[in-house]
Structure 1
Amino acid sequence: MEHSLKIIGGTFTLLTLRYFVLAGIPFLIFYLVFTPYFAKSKIQPKNAINKDFIREILHSLQSTAVFALVSYLVLRTPFRSYTLVYDHLADYPGWWVVTSLVLSLVIHDTYFYWLHRLLHHKQLFRLTHLLHHRSTNPSPWTSYSFSFLESLAEGAVLVVIACLIPMHALTIVLFAVVGFVINVYGHLGYEIAPRWFRHSFLFDILNTSVHHNLHHSKFKGNYGLYFRFWDRLLKTEYPDYVDEYDRIQAKRFDTAKSASI
């Protein structure tokens, strides 16, 4: 028992470090040090307040504890024998590490989309998802600000992925880092996508900070996490998303001014 607690505690410490580094650095850059420089990239003109940030951090630590427990279940208990997690990189070709990472993100996005829509059901919303939506103007700290029940549901995706595709522990770590970085970008409150992104095929596939920010400000639509696929297929994407994205980018790059010259 003592050994298990040490492992869970160590995992919680690492995940907490991930949270404060990967969410804290963008917060420092965009909300404290270089705020005037990025003013044109701000999606909503209003600002969240310190009370919001404190609430988000405290609930994110609760979520992190839940995720540490789920990780322990998948990797350190007899349940692992029911998963496809493997020990040696040589068990699969080297390219499978990257391939399984991409597949895990696709699975996660599908899982998240349907879970997200379920949590917006009127019978479940107040009990599970309302806490996350108290952040109507999200920041990097919002990324893991979930209720306990939502944390359990969100963390369970690792069980699903580990049972569906072979994954090495390295891939699981990469999934945890890459997924969280994208999550922070979605909650950043600033749009930082490069100008060329709008006219590339990637724009039709990937979500942006504007995309998820609209979900927080409008409460409906834009349920996807990484990709636009499910929202576009099932017509749950906010109808003015592209116009709003273009408005923010025009403000960032002064394209309206440039076009008039």
Structure 2
Amino acid sequence: MSQLPDLSQPLWFLAVTAVVFAIVVGRYFLIAGLFHLAFYRWQPQRWQQRKISNKAYKKDQFRKEVQWSMITALLFAVAGAIMGVLWQKGYTLIYTDWAAYPVWWLPVSLGIAMLLHETYYYWLHRWMHHPKVFRIVHKVHHDSNITSPWTAFSFHPLEGVLQALFLPLLLLVLPMHIYVLLLQLTLMTFSSVINHLDIEVYPAKFHKHPLGRWLIGATHHSLHHKQFKYNYGLYFTFWDKWKKTESPSYAVLFEEKTTAAGVGHEVVQKRAGS
């Protein structure tokens, strides 16, 4: 790191922020855009499935979601630049030498980071649904009652800050290879986009699979946006299952979305929204 310029200097800090912002925005548009095209343009039968349910996006919803997401991306970029400064000063445990830790630590560190992130987000999310907090911090995200790929990073700036804090703080105490860190950031974007599709991408019966029952997908998270008091998780369902905050409508709606392709879909959706 000695060959790098001092990232704490204002001009270099701005330069790093700009680079990270471009990466975050590029990843957001690439992943959200691909899913948007895949399900709303290239597979019109999936779009038709939405029409059966009488679903409709709000006017200018996509534009507003992208605008809020750009603010979130800027906050993530500033957090990334700060993390770069802390790394350069030796405060974080990010490492680049593959031999610094055993090979088995690479997947283990990723698993620990994702489990801790899940825990942080679940309890943060429940706190954000406190009525007084919700109106200030979380309402912007829930303005997307019917979610889309572009909802993934559509947050109020206060929520964006709370979400951006996790990784810099975690990396003060958890060693992670820089490529593992980049992998987690990419998985986070994929997961957020998939969860907000409102069109299920997982196969029939996946919610009963030994792996699938622990993973959050579009059906699971769409119920959160409709019911508000269930399904607070980020990647995994274990906190919702443990704290009994998983929607009782989830299994029925998942089966309906993945097996009937819209037959009776409207009835189930109305039931889920109740």
TM-score normalised by structure 1 residue count = 0.90
Aligned to 1:144: 153
Distance 1:37 1:232, change over 3 A: closer
Q: How do 1:18-37 residues align onto structure 2 when only pairs under 5 Å count?
A: 18-37=27-46
Query: Which of 12, 33, 45 is the matching residue for 2:21?
Result: 12
Match of 2:129 in 1: 120
Deviations 1:60-114 (A, max 9, x none): 0100000011111112246853322223122012232222122211111111100
Alpha-carbon shift at residue 198 of structure 1 (Å):
3.5
Q: What code does the residue aligned with 1:126 have?
A: R
Question: RMSD of aligned C-alpha atoms?
Answer: 2.3
User: Tell me, what secondary structure is at the counterpart of 2:60?
Assistant: helix
| Matching residue's letter, 1:171 | V
**Residues 1:165 and 2:186 are matched in the alignment:** no
Looking at structure 2, the residues matched to 240 and 117 of structure 1 have their Cα atoms a distance apart, in angstroms, of 19
- Alignment partner of 1:237: what SS? coil
Pairwise CA distance, 1:180: 0.9
Range with bigger deviation, 26-35 or 183-192: 26-35
Query: What secondary structure does 2:246 align onto?
Result: coil
1:107 to 116, 120, 127: 116
The residue that corresponds to 2:218 in the other structure is 209
Counterparts of 1:147 and 1:190 in 2: how far apart (Å)?
24
Residue matched to 2:269:
none
Q: Which secondary structure does the structure 2 equivalent of 1:81 belong to? A: coil
The match for 2:6 is: none
Tell whether 2:270 aligns with 1:230.
no
For the residues of structure 1 that align with 2:162 and 2:134, how far apart are their CA atoms? 13
Structure 2: unaligned runs, 5 residues or longer: 1-9, 264-274
Of the candidates 183, 194, 197, which is equivalent to residue 188 of structure 1?
Answer: 197
Which structure carries more relative contact order (alpha carbon 8 Å, separation 6+)?
1
Q: Say which is worse superposed, 219-228 or 77-86, in terms of deviation.
A: 77-86
For residues 35 and 9 of structure 1, do their structure 2 counterparts lie closer, same or farther at Cα, with a shift above 3 Å needed? same
Correspondence 1:245 to 2:262: no
1:44 is displaced (CA, Å) by 5.3
Q: Any idea what SS the aligned residue of 2:261 has?
A: helix
Q: Comparing 26-35 with 61-70, which one deviates more in the overlay?
A: 26-35
Q: What per-residue deviation string (whole Å, max 9, x for no partner) do you get for residues 222-252 of structure 1?
A: 0001111111111111122111112212213
1:57 maps to which of 39, 51, 66 = 66
Report what 1:258 is aligned to. none
8 Å CA contact retained: 2:40, 2:47: no
Answer yes or no: is the 8 Å Cα contact 2:205–2:255 preserved in 1. no
Contact 1:70/1:155 (8 A) holds in 2: yes
User: Which piece of structure 1 moves more, 80-89 or 118-127?
Assistant: 80-89
Q: 1:219 aligns with which of 219, 222, 228?
A: 228
Bigger shift: 82-91 or 108-117? 82-91
Instruction: Report if the CA contact (8 A) 1:207-1:227 is conserved.
Output: yes
Counterpart residue type for residue 131 of structure 2:
K
- Other-structure match for 2:138: 129
Q: Spell out structure 1 runs of 4+ moving beyond 6 A.
A: none
Amino-acid identity (%)? 34
Give the 3-state SS of the residue equivalent to 2:198 in structure 1: coil
User: For 1:232 and 1:252, how far apart are their aligned partners in 2?
Assistant: 27
Select which of 93, 96, 103 maps to 2:102. Answer: 93
Q: Is the 8 A contact 2:129 2:138 kept in 1?
A: yes
Task: Give me the whole-angstrom Cα distance separating, in 2, the residues matched to 1:237 and 1:165.
Answer: 30
